[in-house]
Structure 1
Amino acid sequence: MADSLALVEPAAPAPAPQPDRRTARSIGSAVAAVLPWAVLLAALPAAWWYTDVPAGDVLRYAAYWSLALLLPGTLVHRAVRGGRGNLPEDLGYGAATGLLLELGAWIVAAATGQQHLLRWWPVPLVLAFAVVPRLRRNWRVGPRRPLPLAWHWSMAAVLLLVLLWAVAQWRLVPLPPVNHTYYQDLLYHLSLVQELTRDLPFQLPQMAGEPLRYHYLSDAHMAAGSMITGIPPATVLLRLWLAPVAIITVLVTAGLARDLSGRGWAGPLAGAAAGLGMPVAVNSAIADGAFAFSFSSPSQTYVLPLLVLLGGICVDAVRGRPLGVAWALLPALGLACAGSKSSALPPLIAGVGVALLATWWQRRRVPWPVLATLLCLVAPMGVGYLLFAGGGAGTLSPQAFAFLHAMPQYRETIGAGAGVRGGGLLPFGLARAGAAGWLLTFALLGWWLLVQLPRLIGMLILTGPRRADPAPWLLSGAILAGAGGIWTLHHPSLSQVYFWLDVLPFGAVLSVWLLTLVRPSWPVAVCAALLGVASYLVVPLMARPAATMAGWAGVLGRSYLRLAVLLLLAALIAVGVHALLGRRRPDGGGRRRLVAVALAGITAALLSASVARGVDGAVRYVQVAPGRPASVALPSTVTAAEMRAALWLDEHSADDDVVATNVHCRPVPTTAHCDARAYWVTGLGGHRTVIESWGYTDAALAANGRRGLGYVRQDPPDPDRFALNERIFRSPTAADLDRLRAEYRVRWLFADTRAGAVSPELAGLAHVRLVSGSVIVYELR
């Protein structure tokens, strides 16, 4: 009975369930991984707001990037190439793909005149991914390739530093209207952004009726962003577009580095080297400022995420990996790159060509995937030349050592007195130089190669077992082609430098890949990296010498010595730390391992010194940049009143209205052979003009050097048009006004008394609509 009773006694209360420690750790890790991205996502709109972007514009632009670029691009990239296995890389690659998709939607809208529908272009695509069963899986991350927690924090830190660099640029360039001298290229791009909101065929806004031939797809991105959000084009150009595109570039570069190396930590390091790195000059007086991103050249920055994405697909293709439908991305991205920056595609094509030759030589048979990749790039480059070539792209000519024109060491010595001469196979000064001049030239070339070692040292991969892999051949070929372009081609504005700037991410990836192959221990890498940082922060800045060959030769000698000491110390510290830790590989054959450790130390020191210089430059800009521009009107300054008049014209006129203006030059007064790069009437005014500034026309560039004048000071390319335009303001007649209406469809006159005399009789022939400072805006009756 007792046993029976015991059976029916109430059971003892079960112990309280213990929380699953693994679940708790998983949640904690997830929170820790999300936190740095939350900081970044908060910092970006805060940076825009801090630099005077209205809160409404910030919210609209954030929604635009999220819904019109990130979302559709991520879905398409996952469908075409598969997911990355983690959200940050998925979004990075997806955003780059979104930029490509946006160009397709924009060109359809421009061709059909349906720009008002452009904001809805992602809707049918997103609906397809929601409705079609085979596409629904692309809403998920897919097979997991998780990233270490340190990756999230280090990558977010790199991107915050990139954002800091962007803030440094923004603080130097206020939003209009304000008294300010804008860099002329920014105003030129602003005029193109305005033009690309119109229908095809596009016209040169500075000379209505002339076809627009330029690599303008970066401006198309900004035009699309402005039309979709309703944000003024000037705000998009001068603030909003830069940081997201730079961030995406770093993310895609990091993904490529991880794919090649198989190491998670390679991603943030490659991203930092690509997005923040600069040449390692050891504070020499001879310092090259090559930086991958450029605020003043939107086309340079915009093309980078597209180019790195294309480079990654090319790597898969030349390795013989099946691409499937991703083959379609090769010509599409190739055309997008050709239309964004004319210098972007040739180095990559050269790299694929090198990979083709290397693979054929090693295997003694035609590598068909590599050949197919090459053809997929050559075809869009040809199409791009037909569609976009112009505006300076056609003025390249062969000239060895042309980049010397960028160096004061040449200009102040053997290049003194060369003027604007550009012809010949050698620069004017070098062609007449003696032995000392040639010695200085080769010393400068050698110095340039040395300070670029953070981008070049990765090519040493080809000396090891990886030389059987086509990928390092591709990247090395692209890097060499970029360096070759800068030193063997001539452009009157030294624009051949972009061949080099476009391949800097590939150089960063290759150098970091080399570091992962050497496999240094963390103490070795950290100590060498600290040395690199110290070399920039501690070594004193070298004084500039007298502008003589002897003075510059002395600086070169001391500069070579400084860099040699850095490389030697990096190698010795790496070997010393390795020896102290007793790190010896059982198969490593001591001497070969020590050489590898020394190489790792040199590479780590170079990369850290390169990044330290870029970060310090951004910090210094933020510290010294003015919080608000001074209200000073100098001859080269466009006044706030002038800007307000131009903005008023943009707001109160129809999209296709044409304007006649007497503003052509910088400074503003119109004089013979002035610097014809004003561009603020078409940029801020937002309309085509009869003739505004002509400094970047094909005719002006082709005339560079004529009568000893640079291309920006050449005569107007259409003298009759220019003469008619000037008569309207100085001695107007009803007949000339009728001719303006009939030939150019002019409706508005934008007269600036700072540019030249304005006849009082004009008020009797046209209706005065606005007076703002020195500007009078007339509407034709």
Structure 2
Amino acid sequence: MSRPGRAMSVAALASVPVLPLGWFVGLQAHQPWVAAAYLSYFLLVLVIPGTMFWRRLTGGSGWFAVDAVLGTTFGLACEVLIYPLGRWLDIPLAALVMPALALGLFLALPGRTRSTKPTPWWSVAGVMVVAGIVAAWFVRVGSRLIPLDGPAALRPNSDSPFQLSLAAELTHHFPPQVPYVAGEPLTYHWMAFNHIASAHWITGIELDVLTQRVVPFAFLLLTTLGAAAVGMVLTGRAVAAPIAAGLAVLAGDLGPWGWTVTHTLYHDSPLSMGQMISTTQAFSTVLMLPLIAVTAQLLRRPPGQTRKQLAGLFLVAGILISVLSVSKATALPVYAAGLAAAWIYLTIKARRLNLRALVLGVTVAAAYAFNFFVVLRGETNGMEFKPAGTYRSMLDGMVRGIDPSVPAGRSMLLIVTAAVVIGWLMPAVGALLIRRRLPRDPMVVMLLAGLVGAVAAASLLYQFSQAQVFFVRTAFIYGVLLAAWGLASLERRQYLVVGPALAIGVAAIYMGRAQTKTLIRDCQDTGCLERIFTAPLVAAVILTAAGIVILGLSIRRRSRTGRTWAIIAVCALLGLTVSPTVVGLRQFAFPPQTAYDSIAPGGIDAARFIRRQSGPDDLIATNIHCHAPTGPRCHTGSFWIPGYAERRVLVEGWSYTAKANNVRTSAEASYGPFWDKEKLKVNDEAFTAPTREVLDRLRTQYGVRWLLADDRVNPAPEELEKLAELRFQSGTVRVYQLYPPRVGAGSTPIS
């Protein structure tokens, strides 16, 4: 091997350890065995079997590194399908069968894989640099977003305890119920929590550490690596890998106002607050990437594709579609919009029906129907047709607190709508630079249609908790791939202008935001509002246009072609989206906590005491129903007890349920009454006016075995200690175990 060749190999090998090193650095706040245990599980159960599945069923991509990444994500999809069956059969370690299944398939189904090409060292090194950035960000920001211990751990919002409670539910039960309202069917997407539950059983890592630290970090890295892998599949060029990875981490959307850069609606990259607190969104993004890759292999019809490989591709696509349907409600509609456009495009071009896209479409329709009618039970959870409701809600949030006599009129709504929509669609400008390698390549059409369809859905639909914005969060990766594809289509010498052009956009949006010197709440008339909303946008546009002209004219006339101008313009526009994301990440380093302890002092220890002393089917009753223990109104978003106790609760909070969500406003969903007044009455009497009859009814009719009382809600009556055994006390929390009922009392417990 020549000296330059050896140097390149050494450089490539030297960059690979960034992943395991970054993994341990990112989780340095925990004992080393935590990172080691999950990494071992990840490699043995997901990476190796998944890669074997992927290469055997799809024929491979031609790059082993790409197959390893996409195979890992496919292994994740297989794992979350296997775990529920194992949980139902009371075999929670069922995922350990994955290596044997992969080996059996590999031996029983000999197949032809594409010849493997080496991945250039600089491509690997570039992706590893981005992975290092993710690890550094996680240490600095991500690991601080949701505290796991200390006083701050008692002050989470409703989302993180909700995610933890679902992970606990899937750890011990299938089919799942709402863990904080026992007996209520769970009409929510639970696939991501199968992975957490499976990892918990096999590694022994605590559920809160997995849910709030280990798994989000793994999903961030997988999204980064997956974007790099799919970028190479779409473009056929190794340069797409570091570009796609970098855009997945640093790109965002247009945030022209200083007050928007910290809002989760404006940050849809993997390093966003939205990804960290939404396990389902992060999981669906990870699985969308291999689905895009396998769709490309199906619709592009590469030469030499056998029927066996075609069957394998459809099997892989079917598994991914099935898992995605129960992962996030917004995922498949975005994919379906892109697929429909690709089908129309291919059908028109070939003048005959494209059966491959049609089969995929039928699979998507069947999977989504199953999700809607079986998993969601036909519940819309408050989603309604309300054009521009998204932007009106955003505007209302921005102007909250100003003088009521200062109206935010239609012109303000148009400004906000234009800025948000343009920002969401901005990555699509990358398509202007794409040079297709294949005639009639449908993937550009598919990605564009998916992105546009997602923005249309977010514009026409509305849900009081802004769930419709997750359509755009799903499509964010579509925009990243379009932009990466365009930038990867450049010739080597054309990359000289990319950096300066990106810097133009970054500088323009920074300087534009600097024009906002007046606070919204200080405005005394509509004209003031219009000025502070329009001035940053106008300044950013003027500065960007001027920068494009100056940079273009500075290039030698002989090299100043139309494509050069297009490259400068596209990169400058993409630069406008990078800057807000970077600023937002810095702001997220210290996220606000609630001003009160939403988890009772001593409550986590009390819940874990119940976990140690009880069986998985034991039921808890509590006097905690509100996120805040006291106050004039009860926000029914308390979900922490089943998360830490890993046991169902008769009635804790009741937000985030289908019955609570089928309303029109957030206030109705969060502050509405409980629908079963008799059950709630019996539950609360145990803590306010306990009698032997009440406790016997709780135990026999409802199956309650434990009482968890918070003195902040109401002091425990003295009679309770006479009727039930006090087993644990910490902080403001007491845990009682119910005595067996008297003979002849009650009826059959609920399941």
Using the size of structure 2 for normalisation, the TM-score is: 0.89
Looking at structure 2, the residues matched to 206 and 118 of structure 1 have their Cα atoms a distance apart, in angstroms, of: 27
Looking at structure 1, the residues matched to 16 and 658 of structure 2 have their Cα atoms a distance apart, in angstroms, of: 46
> What code does the residue aligned with 1:209 have?
G
The alignment-based identity, stated in percent, is 24
Aligned pairs (5 A) from 1:455-474: 455-460=427-432, 468-474=440-446
Give the superposition deviation at 1:704: 4.0
Looking at structure 2, the residues matched to 314 and 191 of structure 1 have their Cα atoms a distance apart, in angstroms, of: 35
> What code does the residue aligned with 2:41 have?
Y
Looking at structure 2, the residues matched to 89 and 464 of structure 1 have their Cα atoms a distance apart, in angstroms, of: 20
Looking at structure 1, the residues matched to 576 and 526 of structure 2 have their Cα atoms a distance apart, in angstroms, of: 29
Give the superposition deviation at 1:282: 4.8
The unaligned stretches of length 5 or more in structure 1 are 1-20, 419-428, 585-592
SS where residue 728 of structure 2 aligns?
strand
Q: Structure 1 residues 759 and 237, CA, compared in 2 at 3 Å: closer, same or farther?
A: same
Q: Structure 1 residues 525 and 458, CA, compared in 2 at 3 Å: closer, same or farther?
A: closer
Query: Which of 596, 599, 613 matches 1:638?
Result: 599
> What code does the residue aligned with 2:219 have?
V
Residue 302 (structure 1) aligned with residue 278 (structure 2)? no
> What code does the residue aligned with 1:349 have?
A
Q: Is the 8 A contact 1:218 1:302 kept in 2?
A: yes
Query: Which of 717, 738, 762 matches 2:720?
Result: 762
Looking at structure 1, the residues matched to 22 and 250 of structure 2 have their Cα atoms a distance apart, in angstroms, of: 18
Looking at structure 2, the residues matched to 646 and 176 of structure 1 have their Cα atoms a distance apart, in angstroms, of: 15
Which range moved further: 221-230 or 568-577? 568-577
Query: Which of 564, 570, 573 matches 1:606?
Result: 573
Give the superposition deviation at 1:284: 4.9
Which range moved further: 231-240 or 253-262? 253-262
Hey, what does 2:331 align to over in structure 1?
344
Aligned pairs (5 A) from 1:191-206: 191-206=165-180
Q: Is the 8 A contact 1:103 1:221 kept in 2?
A: yes
Aligned residues: 719
Looking at structure 1, the residues matched to 595 and 434 of structure 2 have their Cα atoms a distance apart, in angstroms, of: 55
Hey, what does 1:46 align to over in structure 2?
25
Query: Which of 72, 89, 112 matches 2:89?
Result: 112
Which range moved further: 172-181 or 442-451? 172-181
Residue deviations 1:224-271, cap 9 Å, x none? 111111111011011100121121122222222222223322222122
Give the superposition deviation at 1:728: 0.6
Which range moved further: 253-262 or 725-734? 253-262
> What code does the residue aligned with 2:187 have?
R
Aligned pairs (5 A) from 1:505-584: 505-517=477-489, 519=491, 521-535=494-508, 541=514, 542-543=516-517, 544-545=519-520, 546-547=522-523, 548-579=525-556, 582-583=558-559
Q: Is the 8 A contact 1:443 1:556 kept in 2?
A: yes
Q: Structure 1 residues 317 and 90, CA, compared in 2 at 3 Å: closer, same or farther?
A: closer
Looking at structure 2, the residues matched to 81 and 464 of structure 1 have their Cα atoms a distance apart, in angstroms, of: 22
Query: Which of 677, 681, 694 matches 2:654?
Result: 694
Residue deviations 1:709-767, cap 9 Å, x none? 43100001211111110001111111121211222211111111112232111111111
Aligned pairs (5 A) from 1:397-408: 397-408=384-395
SS where residue 750 of structure 1 aligns?
strand
Looking at structure 1, the residues matched to 18 and 127 of structure 2 have their Cα atoms a distance apart, in angstroms, of: 12
Q: Is the 8 A contact 1:154 1:268 kept in 2?
A: yes
Give the superposition deviation at 1:118: 2.7
Query: Which of 259, 262, 279 matches 2:236?
Result: 262
Q: Structure 1 residues 87 and 42, CA, compared in 2 at 3 Å: closer, same or farther?
A: farther
Query: Which of 181, 192, 216 matches 1:218?
Result: 192
Which range moved further: 457-466 or 726-735? 457-466
Q: Structure 1 residues 283 and 521, CA, compared in 2 at 3 Å: closer, same or farther?
A: farther
> What code does the residue aligned with 2:248 have?
A
Q: Is the 8 A contact 1:178 1:639 kept in 2?
A: no
SS where residue 219 of structure 2 aligns?
helix
Looking at structure 2, the residues matched to 379 and 144 of structure 1 have their Cα atoms a distance apart, in angstroms, of: 36
Which range moved further: 465-474 or 196-205? 465-474
Q: Is the 8 A contact 1:315 1:474 kept in 2?
A: no
> What code does the residue aligned with 2:330 have?
S
Residue 250 (structure 1) aligned with residue 221 (structure 2)? no
Looking at structure 1, the residues matched to 389 and 226 of structure 2 have their Cα atoms a distance apart, in angstroms, of: 33
Q: Is the 8 A contact 1:646 1:685 kept in 2?
A: yes
Q: Structure 1 residues 611 and 709, CA, compared in 2 at 3 Å: closer, same or farther?
A: closer
Residue 171 (structure 1) aligned with residue 144 (structure 2)? yes
Looking at structure 2, the residues matched to 353 and 255 of structure 1 have their Cα atoms a distance apart, in angstroms, of: 24
Hey, what does 2:703 align to over in structure 1?
745
> What code does the residue aligned with 1:527 have?
P
Give the superposition deviation at 1:570: 4.5
Which range moved further: 385-394 or 546-555? 385-394
Looking at structure 1, the residues matched to 66 and 586 of structure 2 have their Cα atoms a distance apart, in angstroms, of: 27
Which range moved further: 492-501 or 155-164? 155-164
Q: Is the 8 A contact 1:284 1:559 kept in 2?
A: no
The unaligned stretches of length 5 or more in structure 2 are 740-751
Hey, what does 1:372 align to over in structure 2?
359
Q: Structure 1 residues 349 and 779, CA, compared in 2 at 3 Å: closer, same or farther?
A: same
Aligned pairs (5 A) from 1:15-34: 21-22=1-2, 25-34=4-13
Hey, what does 1:618 align to over in structure 2?
585
Give the superposition deviation at 1:156: 1.1
Looking at structure 2, the residues matched to 406 and 416 of structure 1 have their Cα atoms a distance apart, in angstroms, of: 18
Looking at structure 1, the residues matched to 356 and 171 of structure 2 have their Cα atoms a distance apart, in angstroms, of: 39
> What code does the residue aligned with 1:496 have?
Q
Give the superposition deviation at 1:668: 1.9
Residue deviations 1:402-426, cap 9 Å, x none? 11244246763899989xxxxxxxx
Hey, what does 2:71 align to over in structure 1?
94
Q: Structure 1 residues 332 and 523, CA, compared in 2 at 3 Å: closer, same or farther?
A: same
SS where residue 496 of structure 1 aligns?
helix
Query: Which of 454, 460, 475 matches 1:488?
Result: 460
Residue 125 (structure 1) aligned with residue 85 (structure 2)? no
Looking at structure 2, the residues matched to 699 and 747 of structure 1 have their Cα atoms a distance apart, in angstroms, of: 26
Hey, what does 2:472 align to over in structure 1?
500
Hey, what does 1:362 align to over in structure 2?
349
Hey, what does 2:688 align to over in structure 1?
730
Looking at structure 2, the residues matched to 207 and 410 of structure 1 have their Cα atoms a distance apart, in angstroms, of: 31
Q: Structure 1 residues 467 and 450, CA, compared in 2 at 3 Å: closer, same or farther?
A: farther
Q: Structure 1 residues 573 and 269, CA, compared in 2 at 3 Å: closer, same or farther?
A: farther
Which range moved further: 680-689 or 171-180? 171-180
Q: Is the 8 A contact 2:70 2:226 kept in 1?
A: yes
SS where residue 635 of structure 2 aligns?
coil
Q: Is the 8 A contact 1:571 1:597 kept in 2?
A: no
Looking at structure 2, the residues matched to 646 and 734 of structure 1 have their Cα atoms a distance apart, in angstroms, of: 24
Using the size of structure 1 for normalisation, the TM-score is: 0.86
Hey, what does 2:294 align to over in structure 1?
313
Residue 103 (structure 1) aligned with residue 64 (structure 2)? no
Q: Is the 8 A contact 2:513 2:536 kept in 1?
A: no
Hey, what does 2:181 align to over in structure 1?
207
